[in-house]
Chain A
């Protein structure tokens, strides 16, 4: 490896990702350069962790606190996965905060049942039970050890109930604040987080046990040996169009990316050569998004007022479906993966004022007009089609037959679209995160196609498969990343001590 020059590396496409950006982006440039060794010379750690997201950083901190020596490899110049975009809900039960607020109508068993219901009973039952049983402990760890501050719990309907613990973002996204706090905790412990260091291959011995990671660093390829194991915490593949097409179909690749452009499927690329069992590969979480401005329009889609029409002026989705279903349906029923939420000025709509404020505040175009004709002109929807669609909808309500429309409208109490001014909020269907990846067990060990664990290989967070299917209770992804990242830490430290 020592013979590779920087110049020849720069010529290869791979190097362009890491090395090409170093000069301009490297936050930790000078500090880290001092701690990295010469190209090709391997360093040994108890645990090598791929990805500085929620799962990776939680793992590194726990490895250190268990007496081990971790290293975190991060391909970008700072944590760049989905965590920094997350709203910051953490779904847990049995916490001190719940007790303080007098929330005592939940149990671990009920939580488990609800998680299974939301995954259509297809989430791995053992992983789900492990999550439910360990969620409170993970929450208290975030508060006590990491110093994460949480807001007051706001009770919500099924399946969130009193379980959603929302991180106080103090002005930024809750996930962004979580990562800041995890990084600070890692720094306080002296844990090396190596930026511009991209894991490109897992190292194995002759028994095909995982012994480390080969990574591309600004100085070239370098090996990181792991005595206890390697954690894959590189996130999912929501930003890898080839994989989306391969595992889900071309329509899924047309969804807008809600979060990170850098979660590109290294959980698959790194583990597949070792015959990891890849599960739930077609499963993901979707949500609506305005791709150009990243405004989240979920509230207005959930409000229960108005209709959703395509650029051609047709209703395309049952307005009663969840925002997740709406986002997932859009690329299949419109060629542009784009639609408008059309609302009138019904004063009872609880979300209208807030949404106008949000779109305005974030400079995201939306449209307001005194007549439907005018609205059609502003939105470029054919006026005739829009008016016909609205009239058909209003007539169906009068005839008590909205369920007979195509597509049906099954809102419990639908409201006519009849009071000027009218509004059109454009949005796209987006992908939040993928659920598929190498299957893990409750020790976060990766399982192979023969149901055997692959010694030394662990996965957690969006990188791991098994826990989620179809949908998840909001807040369970950050919860899962924290819980299984820390489980992997304990396993790797124990394994290292035995080695």
Chain B
């Protein structure tokens, strides 16, 4: 964890002050571990804007593809009655992810 922190500190130091204000309490999790770089998601340099869901789909596939991957999960978060929910409505890359179903349900699902 410490090394990850250092990477971030260095990164931040290189970025402008306004970027500093971004909430990065949970920096990237698996993406960092797997070596996914800022530029693979953010087309602007330095990163400053939210990333469109199409970017996520370019690596992971769309909801239909994801639904197959999590078909054993009950209920399947990627195939639901709300329809085509975009990835980033639930998965927050730099902060705690959410489960939008929880506005109405209490499922035992944890969103990575």
A contact set with B: CB distance below 8 Å: 23-27, 29-30, 77-79, 84-85, 169, 171-173, 175-177, 179-180, 183, 292-294, 362-364
Contact = CB atoms under 8 A, between A and B. Distances in A.
A183 B63 CA distance: 15
Interface in B22-81: 50, 52-54, 76, 79-81
A27 B82 CA distance: 12
Which 5 residue pairs of A and B lie closest in terms of their CB atoms, listed nearest first?
A176-B81, A173-B81, A172-B81, A363-B106, A294-B104
A77 B83 CA distance: 10
A294 B105 contact: yes
Contacts of B99: none
A362 B83 contact: no
B89 interface: yes
Contact of B107 (A85, A175, A177, A363): A363
Contacts of A179: 83
B96 interface: no
A487 B89 CA distance: 37
Given A23-B50, A171-B76, A172-B79, 10 more contacts: A24-B86, A25-B86, A27-B86, A29-B53, A30-B54, A78-B83, A78-B84, A171-B79, A293-B104, A293-B105
Contacts of B105: 293-294, 362-363
- Which residue among B89, B106, B107 has the maximum number of chain A CB atoms within 10 Å of its CB? B106
9 contacts: A23-B50, A78-B85, A172-B79, A176-B80, A176-B82, A176-B83, A293-B105, A294-B105, A363-B108
Contacts of B111: none
B88 interface: yes
B70 to A, nearest CB: 12
B43 to A, nearest CB: 12
B82 A84 contact: yes
Given A25-B86, A25-B89, A85 B53 contact: no
Contacts of A363: 105-108
B108 A85 contact: no
Given A29-B52, A30-B54, A77 B80 contact: no
A110 B105 CA distance: 40
A289 to B, nearest CB: 10
A79 B105 CA distance: 19
Nearest to B82: A84
A364 B53 CA distance: 32
A84 B82 CA distance: 6
B54 A24 contact: no
Nearest to A79: B83
A183 B80 CA distance: 15
Given A24-B50, A25-B89, A30-B52, A180 B108 contact: no
A29 B88 CA distance: 13
Contacts of B85: 27, 78
Given A293-B106, A362-B106, A85 B81 contact: yes
Contacts of B53: 27, 29
Nearest to B103: A261
A24 B104 contact: no
B57 to A, nearest CB: 11
Nearest to A88: B81
B109 to A, nearest CB: 10
Contacts of A180: 83
Contacts of B89: 24-25
A292 B105 CA distance: 7
Contacts of B54: 30
Given A24-B50, A24-B88, A292-B106, A84 B83 contact: yes
A79 B83 CA distance: 8
Given A27-B53, A29-B52, A172 B106 contact: no
Contacts of B83: 78-79, 84, 176, 179-180, 183
A103 to B, nearest CB: 29
A195 B106 CA distance: 28
A237 to B, nearest CB: 19
A201 to B, nearest CB: 27
Contacts of B79: 171-172
B52 A84 contact: no
A293 B107 CA distance: 9
Contacts of B88: 24
Contacts of B106: 292-293, 362-364
Contacts of B84: 27, 78
Contacts of A79: 83
A143 B107 CA distance: 33
Nearest to A183: B83
Nearest to B74: A361
B94 to A, nearest CB: 13
Nearest to A261: B103
A143 to B, nearest CB: 21
- Which residue among B52, B76, B105 has the maximum number of chain A CB atoms within 10 Å of its CB? B105
A169 B108 CA distance: 22
